[in-house]
Structure 1
Amino acid sequence: MSDFQQLSVAATAPGKINLYFAVGDVQANGYHPVASLYSAVSLQERVTVTAAETSGISLSLEIVPGSALAAMEQTGEFDRAAVPLNHKNLAYRAAEAVLEAHGISSPAAGLHLHIEKEVPVAGGMAGGSADAAAALKAVNEFVVKAGWADTELTREQLMALGTRLGADVPFCVIGGLAVGYGVGEELTPITVPEGTRQLPLVMVLNDRGLSTPSVFTELDRARAAGDLPAGGELTVPAELVDELTRGGELDVRRIAELMRNDLQAPALALAPELRQTLAAGDTEDVAAALVSGSGPTVAWLVANDETARSLAQAPGGHRRVFCTTTFSADVN
């Protein structure tokens, strides 16, 4: 077997949560300006690129054993058929984008992308965007090691490619903590002091998905009808950033007071059952309960890991609950 056939390159990218997400009114081009504070979570997607025997791009999927997603699959609450293994997958489109950016129109061999998933699908945690980000990085390194290109694209170039794939992809390329403006692509990474404690989160999954476009459409409808206020000032509060980067122990209660998600109301309108999940988090142990992104996953912010584990292990019927944290270590 040749060295090329043995070549394998892997990269990871994190899922995310928006600790702050203010949405402006829809623009003429159909997009919504936002002010977002992105935080990576400890859940990651991994994409491994290898040479394929046939030309073109092929995909395969593995659900990470022991993950909440694997548990949902076992109970029938998740069907892996919901993840397309063709050109509709963001990882596929990311591979195409990297090849195009390198000027590779007809690669000497095919590429195979193996995706290892643990971020919930259609759960508001950017699982598909993380797949795309991991694919951007892995394919970028692969084409150089394969001798198809001389130098790798820079991180900034990969982020620019990611902007064309989805609003969350650029953040998933860099991870960590970042403020985002525009449609989320104008990113400013935030340095978190060494020793800062990560925020424990309990993520409560729902057995249905919510498409991000449908949630934005409902937001526009409710605003036009006067059911929700128009988009106001789009600024991430400096105090929230300060609280998250103060170092050492964090004031979880104060952070909870500053969090915001303008997509929560339209998500609740489309999935009213989420109100019960939010209400279940209305306890002394939970500093804040909010819909994650466009939903339907709900995040409970708690004070410590022990509380998170206790809540995650509490009886919950068919409810899928798992622990994660913010400010994940840098991804590869």
Structure 2
Amino acid sequence: MYSKSVTLRCPAKLNLFLNINKRYDNGYHELQTLFQMIDVEDEITFKFNSSKTLNFKSNLPELSNSDNLIIKSIQLIERTFNLEPIGLDIYLKKNIPIGGGLGGGSSNAATTLLFLDTFLNLRLSQDQLIDLGRNLGADVPFFILGENAIGEGIGEKLTPVKLPNPFYIVIKPNQSVSTAQIFNHTKLKRDTPKKISLS
């Protein structure tokens, strides 16, 4: 097992547009969006341990618990491949604002899946990783893809696109809004006509 620590970057994203076409019975939404990756990044440091335990810490104390997408990603891999408990010491340096719609948790999850695929020698295809990522969140497949893309379905149907490299200014107020709150809001318009066709 790899004994040294590995530090990986987790980029944020912007949705340059977001059209919500309808709501499914399971609570997810059919949508069309344009994902733009940006260079605001979290950092995750992984180190395997022999104790077969998951030890998670963060520079933000409120994140230092097991209810996060990094831990859930590891548990998903353990369940899917019937693995013994994976021992990891994990440190998350959180730079992406929480509750800003920038995909920080989803990016953390995707990075964790990609890390485990490499260092456990699972040899999963990108499509297999995307299918796993869908279980963790609608934005996770985009971060597994790792390039700008048009997203359809619930965000998992991805078409890579080349975009110019403009300069974005991201302003984060001293307030966070839950993505779930927004998508469950009664005034959210859910019948926007589809405006792009990739067929």
Task: Give the TM-score normalised by the residue count of structure 2.
Answer: 0.88
- Name the aligned partner's letter for residue 13 of structure 2: K
> Pick from 135, 157, 162: which aligns with 1:186?
157
- Name the aligned partner's letter for residue 83 of structure 1: L
Report the counterpart of residue 319 of structure 1 in structure 2.
none
How large is the RMSD of aligned CA atoms in angstroms?
2.2
Indicate if the aligned counterparts of 1:13 and 1:175 stay in contact, CA closer than 8 A: no
1:214 maps onto 2:181 in alignment: yes
Q: CA deviation at 1:5?
A: 6.4
Gaps of 5+ in 2: none
Gaps of 5+ in 1: 63-79, 145-150, 239-332
Please list the CA deviations of residues 42-100 of structure 1 after superposition, one character each: whole Å capped at 9, or x if unmatched: 112232221124223221224xxxxxxxxxxxxxxxxx2332431x1101111122233
- Name the aligned partner's letter for residue 204 of structure 1: I
1:167 maps onto 2:134 in alignment: no
> Pick from 81, 99, 102: which aligns with 2:61?
81
- Name the aligned partner's letter for residue 72 of structure 2: R
Indicate if the aligned counterparts of 1:11 and 1:135 stay in contact, CA closer than 8 A: no
Indicate if the aligned counterparts of 1:36 and 1:236 stay in contact, CA closer than 8 A: no
Superposed, which structure 2 residues align to 1:207-286 within 5 Å?
Answer: 207-218=174-185, 221-222=186-187, 231-236=191-196
In structure 2, the CA distance between the partners of 1:234 and 1:38, relative to structure 1 (3 Å rule), is same
1:204 maps onto 2:171 in alignment: yes
Report the counterpart of residue 51 of structure 2 in structure 1.
54
- Name the aligned partner's letter for residue 103 of structure 2: A
1:136 maps onto 2:113 in alignment: yes
In structure 2, the CA distance between the partners of 1:61 and 1:236, relative to structure 1 (3 Å rule), is farther
Larger Cα Rg: Structure 1 or Structure 2? 1
Count of residues in Structure 1 that have an aligned counterpart in Structure 2? 198
Overall identity of the aligned pairs, in %: 26
Task: Give the TM-score normalised by the residue count of structure 1.
Answer: 0.55
Report the counterpart of residue 128 of structure 2 in structure 1.
157
In structure 2, the CA distance between the partners of 1:85 and 1:172, relative to structure 1 (3 Å rule), is same
Query: Matches of 2:195 and 2:55 in 1, distance apart?
Result: 41
